[in-house]
Amino acid sequence: METKIKSGAFQKFAEACGSLMNSEIQAWLDQGGKVAGFFCSTVPEEILMAAGYLPFRMRGTGSTDTELADAYFSPINCSYPRHVMNQALKGEFKFLDALICVNACDHVRRIYDNWIRYAKGINGTTFETVMSLPRKWGDRQVDWYYDEINLLRENLAKHTGVEITDDKIKEAIKLNNQLRSLQKELYELRKKDNPPITGAEALVAVVAGTAMPKDRYIELLRQLIDDLKDAEGNDGYKARIMLVGGELDDPEYINIIEEQGGLVVTDSNCFGSRLFWVNVDEAESDPVRALAKYYVQDRPTCPRTYGSQPERMEFTRTLAREFNVDGIIGERLLYCDNWLVEHYMTKFDLKEHGGNMPFLALDREYILSGKGQIKTRVQAFLETMEL
């Protein structure tokens, strides 16, 4: 991906986003550190950090096919877990010591079963677990996840021999809150008429935050924000676009949208604003309670959770307004039923109570294929606004 950004920090981020293993992880391993892989944005990284791990959010970056994984998945499974599994079966996750799965959706949940049977031996993980994330949105569900997080805490303490104290968890919360606030600050720059960072570049910066030690990332992100403050902005675009969707870690997808003239200025994505728009409550005396509340309730949720669509929709509307958005693209991995229905609802809600904001549902595969079809849809979408 070409970039105008002249920043050493951005180059580091591009390296981290463009591969699974990167030099920052290598440096961590060289110092004797251990890495824990986790799925989705609902696993409390803070517990992993308190246990001494470097949390790494699982991706299939670099995968080119799903030949090995398709022995255990079917072609109508989501391509994200299939590509991740394929990388696992090729032994691309040998840098992991632990793997934390979650029942985020059924496709992703099945990674756990397949990992235990087929990928564990190849990659040499020594601890695997699956967390049970509540399906509904509410106070009782916070209690449920509170227990789940404590269970993870106990099991990790047993496995690592590290005492996971409240203070250590509080420290991790504080560090991650700092990180989230900085990511939000980066997004604030995109409110400008000529944002100094494109949507594709912003995604690079966010993905990198899930693949390197947090303190190092914070240092680099501060540097990037400083570098961008006086940088030349992006102009000449046809429309300001907001992306709404799920697992998207490939900047090239956004690049295609931007090449057509749609500058992506914000998002409600889980490698995006939903990760950092809200902070964990540091005033709460029980840090596990604070985490449970944050991951289940406080943060904009994923549509796999029942009962929170109105709040998600409000979040989308608010960001669209704040970032002066002209149109919304709902991105979805093919076969994702959660996002399919969510996009129908979003489209309807925008028509009824969203000032008729233009909306395009745009499917994709995890590995970018069918670029021509994506281009045609985006071009036509932009034409509906300008012709």
Which chain residues interact with other proteins by CB under 8 A? 334, 361, 363, 370, 372-373, 376-377, 379-380, 383-384, 387
Closest separation between CB of residue 380 and other proteins, Å?
4
* Sign of the dihedral through C-alpha 58, 366, 351, 377: positive
Please identify, using beta-carbon distances, which residue of 137 and 335 lies nearer to other proteins: 335
Distance, CA of 117 to CA of 104 (rounded, Å): 20
**Per-state percent for the chain, helix, strand, coil, to nearest 5:** 50, 15, 35
Please identify, using beta-carbon distances, which residue of 278 and 345 lies nearer to other proteins: 345
Edge-to-edge strands, sheet with 98-102: 53-57, 34-38, 98-102, 127-131
Distance, CA of 160 to CA of 176 (rounded, Å): 22
Q: What is the DSSP letter of 335?
A: T
SS3 62: coil
Q: How far is CA 55 from CA 40, 47, 115, 177, in A?
A: 12, 9, 18, 15
Closest separation between CB of residue 76 and other proteins, Å?
11
Distance, CA of 293 to CA of 299 (rounded, Å): 9
Closest separation between CB of residue 260 and other proteins, Å?
10
Q: How far is CA 116 from CA 60, 67, 71, 123, 300, in A?
A: 18, 19, 15, 11, 31
Spell out where the chain has E strands. Answer: 34-38, 53-57, 98-102, 127-131, 239-245, 262-268, 327-333, 359-364
Please identify, using beta-carbon distances, which residue of 71 and 380 lies nearer to other proteins: 380
Closest separation between CB of residue 308 and other proteins, Å?
24
Please identify, using beta-carbon distances, which residue of 119 and 382 lies nearer to other proteins: 382
Nearest 5 degrees, angle CA 99-CA 104-CA 107? 85
Q: How far is CA 285 from CA 18, 143, 169, in A?
A: 39, 16, 11
Are 144 and 251 contacting, i.e. CB atoms less than 8 angstroms apart? no
Closest separation between CB of residue 369 and other proteins, Å?
8
Closest separation between CB of residue 373 and other proteins, Å?
6
Please identify, using beta-carbon distances, which residue of 23 and 376 lies nearer to other proteins: 376
Closest separation between CB of residue 381 and other proteins, Å?
8
Please identify, using beta-carbon distances, which residue of 181 and 369 lies nearer to other proteins: 369
Please identify, using beta-carbon distances, which residue of 94 and 353 lies nearer to other proteins: 353
Please identify, using beta-carbon distances, which residue of 148 and 363 lies nearer to other proteins: 363
Closest separation between CB of residue 375 and other proteins, Å?
9
Please identify, using beta-carbon distances, which residue of 92 and 365 lies nearer to other proteins: 365
Please, which residues bridge with residue 327 across strands?
241
Residues 6+ apart with CB under 8 A from 369: none
